[in-house]
Structure 1
Amino acid sequence: MPQQKVYLVGAGIAGWEGFGSKALEVINKADVLIGHKRHLDIFPDFAGEKQVLGDLSLMLDFLKKTEKRVVVLGSGDPNFFGVGRFLLRNLPKERVEIFPNVTSIQYAFARIKEPWDDAIFVSVHGRGMKGAIDRIIAAEKVAILTDETNSPAAIAKELIARGAEGYDAWLCEDLGMAGEKFTRTDVKGLVDISASALNILILIKAWEPSLTQYPLMGIDDDEFATAKKLITKQEVRAVTLGKLQLQDDLIMWDIGAGSGSVSIEASNLLPNGRIFALEKNPQYLAFIRDNLKKFVARNVMLIEAYAPEGLDDLPDPDRVFIGGSGGMLDEIIDAVARRLKPDGRIVLNAVTLDTLTKAVEFLEDHGYTVEVTCVNIAKTRGLTEYKMFEAHNPVYIVAAWKGEE
């Protein structure tokens, strides 16, 4: 005998008024009503059994065994960051029938009178902020479900640290309740607000520092703060970025980031990607922080670590640039080879024949196809009456990938 359907019903903002007639009919015919206490309290006269929603695994065990007619109450649209995902993943889909309602996010956008079809949606509720901040800073408009730890103030502090503070902010608290509150502020203003645990944060891009004077590629070397002019030069950066074959939303590691010049120009070419710039040398850390802030490189995350130790907690890369190895080139290539995605690419810059020889040998030993490009740059230098070319030291750009040439 087939099991009874499980009815998943979304509770609206306004209690009884938030349920459609069909949803109320299903609830009235139910034997068991499962939900959070605030949802169960909407139905004080329910004649059947009530179960407070707690451990999802216990609820699942009950649903798999019961022959009773069960309604599970969720918030708004249960398929939107709700219990719907859990039920559909663990029960036959034909057994689940869903009655969605207005989500708290829909309601919040309606109250602040802002269209929401161009927004993205992020939840840090019980999930942590590390990946969420990357998504937020790439967005023009975003709605965020928070929790007590990952609060609006905590999110604001992370955004300020990343130089991404150019948002108008709407803090929407206790929606549908007597103390419902909407506060309009900016990212800095959020830091000083102690928000209700029940809140939605909406951020709408209002401004960002003007970078129109800087190109996407080819930023003058003098624009970067650096130590002793130790920087991947403008022309070499251009060839390096070309060899990396960057695309819109890739993940890139910049190992031995130095001044961060390669990461910064790569970020312009990866507007929806993520770049992790590893640097531990205290001589460079102040410079790279200044450069990341100056060029508003929001999708570049500075990782204060020496490779390969600092790579363990990073997501697997699509592209890896090795600008410096600190004498650990073999170990770094070994670590990268274990994590690089199958269609990924490694690019390494060498200025000595020793580094070039070792890089090619190590990469080929790990099964990579290797291409080396020697870049010889000479730039004009003015004399009293004439100009002459002044040669720079050659740079060897090593590109490696799995597969045939």
Structure 2
Amino acid sequence: MIDVVGIGLNGVLGLTETIRKVVEQATILVGSDRHLSYFPEHLAKKIVLNDIQQTLIEVYEQLQNKEKIVILVSGDPLFFGLGRLLLEKFPADILQFHPHLNSVQLAFNRIKIPWQDAHIVSVHGRNLDELNKLLQKGVEKIAILTDSVNNPAAIAQYYLSLDIPTQYNFWVCENLEYETEKVNYFLPQELKKLSKNSFASLNILILLRVEKTYIKLEKLPLFGIADQQFLTFKDRPGLMTKREIRISILGELNLQEKQIIWDIGAGTGSVSIEIARLCPTSLIYAIEKTAMGINLIEQNCKRFQVTNINPIYGTAPDILENLPAPERVFIGGSSSKIDEILTICAKKLAIQGIIVIALATLENLHESMNWFSKNNWEYQLLQLNIARSTLVGELTRFAPLNPVTIITANFPVKHKQTNKKDDDI
């Protein structure tokens, strides 16, 4: 048998009496210099775990000699530990695992937060792609196993470079269970300023999502509000019209004062909020089919202190029939009913009105273009391929947003006038 014993920074003191006896009976003791230092008086032959592959060859040879082998590892050997590799190299039935508390357990208990729903990711010798996915989803709790490159300061800087709408607080937990243990809370803006030498090599980083606090309206730009300022869907924080796309939409709408505007598929209300702030004398109808979306629109209206948005709970096109005729229409979501929605919009739209559609799929783009062509509308396309800079270690690369095509269509005035003349006759 090979006994694989997890051990913490408090060494022998953290082992139960049963596990101590397992270690005491070893004739071969394998571990790092730190782990072996906990047993200076042990009579077993000691093998320092430096070159892992070479050490495992030596362990195999000693196994043939019927030696009693104990391998010392940190925490839980099957939690991002040596256990996985041992299971690949040796039969499972000769391995016996004796886990200690792992670093994630210790860290969450130190900050007194339940962790059964936490997401755990290791960036130790790995890229940040998996962490990026969790951040983009806006998960509530993330435990990160770090290394000297992907250290807490580097991760804080990476998080800020993503410019995501979800806000997190950062907890750095160092040397857990040791006399030099430290547990500190940071805002990411503070943490990114620290050097990589500011942290003990044995550290774990905990990210906790926080509810957005009060915003200072006087600090906001006239338009192009940062995505992070909006309240969003907690399980899908990225499901909103991004700032760069929003700015283009505002320009394409050619907004004027005292207009009636429809925002169909309003989502969180980000486009409606921007319009309401730019045109306080206009009235915006924010149409959204989900109750959660309506709730977010209402909350964002209070957050940004706008009073000229009317949230409408319902599904287009049915809900549109009884709304006042608009001068501008923005369609951000169509639920695969773009033909029916455009037909109602054309019927209700004021003369010289404008329809702007933001499309993410080729199928909806094709269907929209067909509708405008068939109904003799003039339109133009604007395709936006936007990438934001993001950090990769100490380097910078571009991370693309999903491409969006914007259709801007103008009411066919001549066609409308011709129909009116025919009706008069």
- How high is the TM-score relative to the length of structure 1? 0.56
Q: CA deviation at 1:215?
A: 11
C-alpha distance in structure 2 between counterparts of 1:129 and 1:92, whole Å? 33
Aligned position for 2:352:
none
Aligned to 2:204: 200
Residues 124-174 of structure 1 show CA distances to partners (whole Å, capped at 9, x for unaligned) of: 111122332223443210111101101111111111111246111111112
- Equivalent runs, 1:241-280 vs 2, <5 Å: 262=360
Match of 1:225 in 2: 247
SS at match of 2:169: strand
| Post-superposition CA distance 1:70-101 (Å, at most 9, x none) | 10001111110110111012211001000011
Q: What is the match of residue 104 of structure 2?
A: 105
The answer to whether the 8 Å contact 1:13/1:104 transfers is: no
Equivalent position of 1:92 in the other structure: 91
Q: Which amino acid aligns with 2:55?
A: M
CA distance in structure 2 between the aligned counterparts of 1:215 and 1:59, rounded to whole angstroms: 47
Q: Which residue pairs with 2:31 in the alignment?
A: 35
Residues 220 and 203 of structure 1: CA distance in aligned 2, closer, same or farther (over 3 Å): closer
Question: Aligned letter for 2:144?
Answer: I
| Paired letter, 2:154 | A
Specify every segment of 5 or more residues in structure 1 that has no aligned partner in the other structure, as ranges.
242-258, 264-282, 293-300, 305-320, 325-348, 352-376, 390-405
Quote how far apart the aligned CAs of 1:322 are. Answer: 8.0
Where do 1:6-405 residues align within 5 Å? Answer: 6-66=2-62, 67=65, 68-138=67-137, 139-164=139-164, 166-193=167-194, 194-208=198-212, 209-211=229-231, 224-226=246-248, 229=252, 234=331, 238-239=335-336, 262=360, 289=388, 302-303=399-400
Deviation at 1:381, TM superposition (A): 8.2
Q: Secondary structure, in 3 states, of the residue corresponding to 1:183?
A: strand
Q: Which amino acid aligns with 1:54?
A: N
How far does residue 229 in structure 1 lie from its aligned partner after superposition? 4.5
Q: Distance in 2 between matches of 1:11 and 1:167?
A: 31
CA distance in 2, matches of 1:229, 1:60: 65
Q: Kindly state the Cα deviation for residue 222 of structure 1 after the two structures are TM-superposed.
A: 11
Amino acid at match of 1:160: L
8 A Cα contact 2:360 2:403, kept in partner: no
Measured in 1, the distance between the counterparts of 2:70 and 2:243 equals 64
**2: CA distance, partners of 1:220 / 1:38:** 49
The CA deviation at 1:211 is 3.7
State the distance in 1 between where 2:205 and 2:37 align.
27
The Cα RMSD (Å) is 4.4
Higher helix share: 2
Give the Cα–Cα distance (whole angstroms) in 1 for the partners of residues 242 and 78 of structure 2: 49
Whole-Å separation in 2 of the counterparts to 1:190 and 1:58: 39
| Cα separation, partners in 2 of 1:216 and 1:101, compared to 1, 3 Å | closer
Cα distance in 1 between the residues matched to 2:142 and 2:169: 11
- In 2, are the aligned partners of 1:133 and 1:158 still within 8 Å (CA)? no
Aligned-pair distance for 1:20? 1.5
Secondary structure at the aligned position of 1:226 is classed as helix
Percentage of pairs with the same residue: 32
Report the CA distance between 1:181 and its aligned residue: 1.1
The one-letter code of the counterpart of 2:162 is R
Structure 2 CA distance for aligned equivalents of residues 152 and 37 of structure 1? 25
Instruction: Name the CA distance, whole Å, in 2 between partners of 1:219 and 1:166.
Output: 18
**How big is the shift at 1:60?**
1.9
CA distance in 2, matches of 1:49, 1:129: 40
Deviation at 1:6, TM superposition (A): 0.8
- In the TM superposition, what is the alpha-carbon distance from 1:21 to its structure 2 partner? 1.7
Report the secondary structure of 1:44's partner residue. Answer: coil
Cα distance in 2 for partners of 1:44, 1:222 equals 62
C-alpha change, 1:261 and 1:201, in structure 2 (3 Å) is farther
Per-residue CA deviations over 1:339-394 (Å, capped at 9, x if unaligned) read: xxxxxxxxxx9x9xxxxxxxxxxxxxxxxxxxxxxxxx9997899x99x99xxxxx
Structure 2 Cα separation of the partners of residues 137 and 220 of structure 1: 13
The secondary structure found in structure 1 opposite 2:154 is: helix
Aligned equivalents of 1:56 and 1:90: distance in 2? 11
CA separation in 2, counterparts of 1:78 and 1:229? 58
Structure 2 match to 1:368: none
Secondary structure in structure 2 of the residue aligned to 1:77:
coil
User: Which amino acid in the other structure matches residue 76 of structure 2?
Assistant: D
SS of 2:248's equivalent in the other structure is coil
Q: 1:378 to 1:103 in 2, by over 3 A?
A: same
